[in-house]
Amino acid sequence: MTKRRILLIDDEVTITRGLALYLQENGACDVRVENTGRRAVSAAREFQPDLILLDIVMPDADGGAIAAEIKADPVLQTTPLVFLTALVSHREVGTESKQIGGHPFLAKPVDPDVVLGYIEQYARRG
Amino acid sequence: MWRRASDRRAQTRPLPRALNVWDENKSVTIAVLSNQSVPGRALTLSLMAMLMAVIAAVGFPDALLDQQILASMLALIPAFLLAHYRSWGSIALALGIGMVALCVTHLSAVYFGLPLGASPFILIVVTPYLAIALGAGWFGEVRRYKAELRATQLQLIQAEKLESMGRMAAGVAHEVKNPLMTILTGVKILSKRTAEADETTRLLLQDMADAVARADRIISGLLSYSRERGLDVVPADLNTTVARSLVLVKHDLDKAQIKVNTHLDPSLPKLTLDEFKIQQVLINLFTNALHAVGQGGSISLRTSLETVSRRRSGGSGLVNRVARSGRFVKVQIDDSGPGIPPDHLRKIFDPFFTTKPTGTGTGLGLSISRQIVEMHGGTIEIGNRDEGGARVTMMFKVPEGALA
């Protein structure tokens, strides 16, 4: 089975380290981590992920602006994207109308199994 | 367009120094007099009336009786003018007392054989008492306004406190949720890697995951609280919202074998509601009642249409809110639980106040509920029933022109 290519963009190193490990060990994912928001788009172009997990509030870049840049990119515009943010509560996640810029979002702290479920649901199938 | 509750408060209810909060027409008189003590107000009224009587006596020393009656009427004009700012009942009272005063003045002059020129002197003696009598009725009105003012000020102080907390919550949430994510992911990895571990290790890991979930509930509650600022209102039938909310907690009610008695008044007019948020309030109240009554208890739910007059405004519980006159839809939830200790009633709407076991409740439910109800222009009170158990009463104003 082909591994899903997941690009994980978050400035919190401890989060990306743990989540990447979990997705690799339990979700058969090939995970690339990017802890610098400014390098997110170039990392995506390079990695060509099946899904991008993107933090919204980062010190050097805004997740919303990165998402807009990805959407405007001819190569990346069809890449599914899921926001991962600490600025919403779990109650606000999950319904159709609760999206940010047309992308679904997950509220931190999120169970890694839920992240795997989102990957299953939204990731591009190779 | 719906304005935010805080905006409306800021525009119509600035922290007042005088009683000019509700009715601009009343502001001048009440503002002048509200800065005086009660005896001071009586004295002011008396002096004004006496001044007019002296002017009348000096101006018409040899006048006929009719002219003196006219002069006496002039003396009462200030009192009438003040009465004008109160109510029709007060004006009628003022007129009645005025007529009696005039009769006493006239009859005294005739009975004692006094020269008619002395009647203004008698009026000078009588008028202060009249003014004080008038003032007594008027002070009742002032006291009522003061009580309403005090309640409004308490509401504003509370709103300010809660808004500050909301702003803080949004900032704190981001900084706390990220470390929680790290911990949760770590716990999940360890759980997977130690699937064969002994019972104690598994229990410890589960405790850690539960602790993260608990911390997250509190932070999420604060986040929700900081966001409860806007309403998405539509004309809605409150009975339908109540019924929908009941369905959502039905499973828990059935599980605890709790009997629910509902009396929904079918004649309720439509209200302007954010149904989702009101549902959130109702679910929270039902859940609290459920926890209070325990296994096999009962909950009574009643909706009704009430007409509230100004003089009946206010509540019977400790949480006394300013009610206005008009038609209101009342929602009353009674439970058969042990009731609420009196010292808890005062704090029951405070954020983080909870009597539930540690980890069960965040202590934000009632805070958020009250915020939502007040955003709708409604009131919520919680107290104990004489027959035992707690009672929650919510009142929502029926919009003008709403049909039953």
> What is the tens place of the pLDDT at every residue in A9-63?
999 999 999 999 999 999 889 999 999 999 999 999 999 999 999 998 888 888 8
Is A4 within 8 Å of A123 (Cβ atoms)? yes
Contacting residues for B17 by C-beta, under 8 A, at least 6 apart: none
**Total Cβ atoms within 10 A of residue B266:** 8
Is B63 within 8 Å of B120 (Cβ atoms)? no
Q: Could you say which of B179, B189, B224 has the minimum Cβ distance to residue A21?
A: B189
Cβ-defined contact of A90 to B216 (cutoff 8 Å) = yes
pLDDT of residue A3: 87
ipTM confidence score: 0.86
DSSP string, B154-217: HHHHHHHHHHHHHHHHHHHHHHHHHHHHHHHHHHHHHHHHTTT--HHHHHHHHHHHHHHHHHHH
Using DSSP's 3-state secondary structure scheme, residue B12 falls into helix
- With CA atoms as reference, the chain B residue closest to A91 would be B220
Alpha-carbon span A90 to B218, nearest angstrom:
12
Alpha-carbon span A47 to A41, nearest angstrom:
10
Alpha-carbon span A32 to B277, nearest angstrom:
41
Q: Is any Cβ of chain A less than 8 angstroms from the Cβ of B344? A: no
Instruction: Give the minimum alpha-carbon distance from A75 to chain B in angstroms, rounded to a whole number.
Output: 31
Mean pLDDT by 10 residues, chain B (404 residues): 37 33 36 44 58 59 54 55 52 61 65 57 55 61 76 73 68 83 93 84 89 84 67 86 88 89 91 87 90 88 84 41 71 91 80 61 75 87 89 89 61
pLDDT of residue A92: 57
Instruction: Give the minimum alpha-carbon distance from B140 to chain A in angstroms, rounded to a whole number.
Output: 49
Q: Is any Cβ of chain A less than 8 angstroms from the Cβ of B184? A: yes
Helix axes B199-227, B119-193, angle to 10 degrees: 150
Share of chain B above pLDDT 90, in %: 16
Contacting residues for B390 by C-beta, under 8 A, at least 6 apart: B289, B292, B334, B335, B337, B339, B340, B382, B383, B384
- In chain A, what residues touch B224 (CB-CB under 8 Å)? 89, 91
Instruction: Give the minimum alpha-carbon distance from A5 to chain B in angstroms, rounded to a whole number.
Output: 20
Taking Cα atoms as reference points, which of A59, A60, A61, A54 lies closest to residue A101? A54
Cβ-defined contact of B220 to A14 (cutoff 8 Å) = no
Cβ-defined contact of B220 to A89 (cutoff 8 Å) = yes
Cβ-defined contact of B182 to A86 (cutoff 8 Å) = no
- In chain A, what residues touch B216 (CB-CB under 8 Å)? 90, 109
Taking Cα atoms as reference points, which of B218, B205, B207 lies closest to residue B177? B218
Alpha-carbon span B243 to B264, nearest angstrom:
9
Q: Is any Cβ of chain A less than 8 angstroms from the Cβ of B25? A: no
The pTM assigned to this predicted structure is 0.48
